[in-house]
């Protein structure tokens, strides 16, 4: 990727220097996610980065507190700030034009190990996630180490794909898609997993939409799209299930297969039109 660090985004909330956060019980669902990913990665995913050097951050309370980060983590923090700003600027143009809906910026929270959110306690083992209740994306940057070494999806564009996928969930929230899905899941629990897959695949397609518009901004370099496709494939349900259990249960998919995730990211990238990201019509066979 061609990019130049331009300082922290005004939409980044850096909590990496926070201390004293106590882990609250995650519940069965969160515990299963952490267990599966911990088995896959072969280590406790609640651990934070090491070999650190000191810098400074502005905490939520307005006080300057020391934080520790490696040069690599500092690079990743600058990258996600750049990607967040360019992606939100892109959606600020697309959303009113395509859907007649104004765009509101999401916030990106950088944290380590655990942090409070409006959706409960966020923990690093959950991976990056979007909370619609506070319209914030949460990420422990140590996930990018695992994306490269454990998932086999290295590179800056792979990291950008992860972030812009989560931003795709923010777009869905602004459009009311996530709420429609929740109501449909409650009305027909038998379709809950299929609807979850459609929601996640649409976020992949929206990530591809951003990638489409980066072409005109001279951000893409040769091999970048391949990195994005590799990252999409790396987090497919079939690949994760095969790695953790040795078999694949399609009925339990929540995010889509590797092939599906690649296909929808590619569709968004090639089209550039968010209306081509109707994963729900495709899931229904229309």
Residues whose CB falls within 8 Å of the CB of residue 31, separated by 6 or more in sequence, listed in order = none
Consecutive H or E run containing 204: helix 192-214
Consecutive H or E run containing 203: helix 192-214
Structure confidence at residue 54 as a pLDDT band (50, 70, 90): very low
What percent of the chain is modeled with pLDDT above 70?
Answer: 76
> CA nearest 92: which of 80, 104, 108?
104
Residues 58-117 have pLDDT tens digits of: 334 444 466 788 899 999 999 999 999 999 999 999 999 999 999 999 999 999 999 999
Chain-centroid distance, C-alpha 194: 20
* Between 152 and 172, the higher pLDDT residue: 172
The CB-side HSE value for 200 (13 A sphere, CA atoms) comes to 21
Q: Is the pTM of this model over 0.85?
A: no
Q: Is the pLDDT of residue 229 over 90?
A: no
Task: Label residue 116 exposed, middle or buried (CB < 10 Å: 0-12, 13-18, 19+).
Answer: middle
What ranges in 66-191 are assigned the alpha helix state H?
71-99, 142-149, 156-175, 177-187
Task: Please tell me the predicted confidence (pLDDT) of residue 56.
Answer: 36
- Mean pLDDT calculated for residue range 13-30: 60
């Amino acid at each position: 990727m061609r990019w130049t660090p331009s300082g922290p985004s005004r939409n980044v909330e850096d909590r990496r220097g926070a201390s004293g956060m106590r882990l609250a019980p995650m519940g069965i669902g969160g515990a299963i996610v952490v267990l599966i990913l911990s088995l896959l990665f072969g280590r406790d995913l609640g651990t934070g980065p090491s070999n650190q050097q000191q810098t400074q951050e502005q905490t939520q309370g307005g006080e300057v507190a020391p934080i520790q980060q490696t040069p690599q983590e500092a690079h990743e923090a600058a990258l996600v700030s750049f990607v967040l700003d360019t992606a939100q600027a892109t959606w600020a143009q697309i959303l009113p034009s395509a859907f007649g809906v104004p765009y509101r910026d999401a916030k990106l929270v950088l944290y380590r190990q655990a942090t409070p959110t409006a959706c409960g306690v966020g923990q690093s083992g959950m991976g990056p996630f979007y909370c619609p209740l506070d319209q914030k994306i949460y990420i422990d940057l140590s996930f990018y180490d695992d994306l490269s070494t454990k998932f086999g999806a290295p590179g800056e564009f792979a990291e950008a794909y992860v972030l812009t996928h989560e931003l795709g969930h923010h777009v869905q929230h602004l459009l009311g898609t996530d709420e429609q899905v929740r109501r449909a899941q409650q009305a027909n629990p038998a379709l809950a997993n299929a609807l979850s897959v459609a929601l996640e695949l649409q976020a992949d397609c929206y990530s591809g939409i951003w990638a489409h518009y980066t072409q005109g901004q001279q951000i893409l370099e040769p091999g970048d799209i391949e990195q994005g496709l590799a990252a999409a494939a790396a987090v497919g349900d079939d690949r994760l299930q095969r790695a953790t259990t040795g078999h694949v249960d399609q009925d339990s998919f929540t995010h889509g297969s590797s092939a599906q995730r690649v296909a929808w990211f590619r569709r968004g990238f090639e089209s550039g039109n968010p209306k081509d990201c109707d994963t729900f019509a495709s899931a229904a066979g229309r």
